[in-house]
Structure formats: structure tokens, C-alpha cells
Amino acid sequence: MKTDELIDLLNRLLESERSGVKAVSGMLKPLKEGALKDGLKKAKGDEARYVAGLHGFLKRLGVTPSEKIGDFADKLLAIEGIVEQLRFLNRGQGWVARKIEGLLPALTDQAMQDFFTEMLDTHRKNIAWAEKMIEQLSAKVA
Ligand SMILES: [Fe+2]
């Protein structure tokens, strides 16, 4: 992978994760305390950690990290109902996971490999967690 391609992808992931923080923050606002809120708080913390990590790698590569926020959050927050929001969140998280799957074999830097391996694993776990929540919440409504 060429360096400019890597930088481009890191910036896109940075914008996505930043949008993830914004999206989850908005989802959290109306929620009462409970398992759903706890899980989303954790997910928000994860997304924020990846924003910081991606920011750091971009700086290390000598570039100014993008300051944009992906439009994912606005799209998600325009959706009505937490179940549909969770579904949309998982689509976004799935996109990130696929990007990382594509990126990992091209990485030679150990710190980046470790970071993205953990980021992929956490995204998969958070997707599985949200799927469980969708199931539970859908069962309650039905
Ligand atoms: Fe994410």
C-alpha cells in the first residue's frame, strides 16, 4: 500500500470514528440507565480511543489529521427509534471492520498492526453486542 493511500484511509477511518462518537452520544441522551446505556457508553469510549489512536498515527506519518466529522452521525440521528439506530450503527461499524480487514495484511508496522487488530476485534464485539440488543428490544416490542 502506498503511503498516500494509507494516509487517505486513516483519515477516512478517523472521520468515521469521530462520527461514531457523535452518533453514540446522541443515542445516549434520551436513554435511561441500564444495559443498553452501559453498552453504548462503552462503545462511545472505544470510538473515542480510536479517534485518538488514528490521530496519533497520522501525526507520526507527518500529516495534519483531518478535522472533519463523517456525515454518518447526522444520518443516524435522523432515524427514529433506538432499534433502527442500532441497525444503522452496526452497518457503519461493519464498514469500518471491512476496511480494517482489508488494511491489516498490508501493514508492516507492528504498532499499527496491534492497534488495528484490537480495533477490528472490538468492532466485531460491539457489533455482536448491538445485535443482541436489537434482538432483545425487538422481542419486547413484539
Ligand atoms: Fe467505529
For range 122-134, the mean pLDDT: 98
For range 6-18, the mean pLDDT: 98
Q: What percent of the chain has pLDDT over 90?
A: 96
Please, which pLDDT band fits residue 53 given cuts at 50, 70 and 90?
A: very high
What's the rounded Cα separation, in Å, for the pair 92 and 94? 5
95: CA distance to ligand 1 center in Å? 9
The position carrying cell 495534519 is 64
pLDDT of residue 140: 73
pLDDT of residue 142: 60
Look up the pTM and report it. 0.95
CB 50 within 8 A of CB 97: no
123: CA distance to ligand 1 center in Å? 6
20: CA distance to ligand 1 center in Å? 6
9: CA distance to ligand 1 center in Å? 14
pLDDT of residue 17: 98
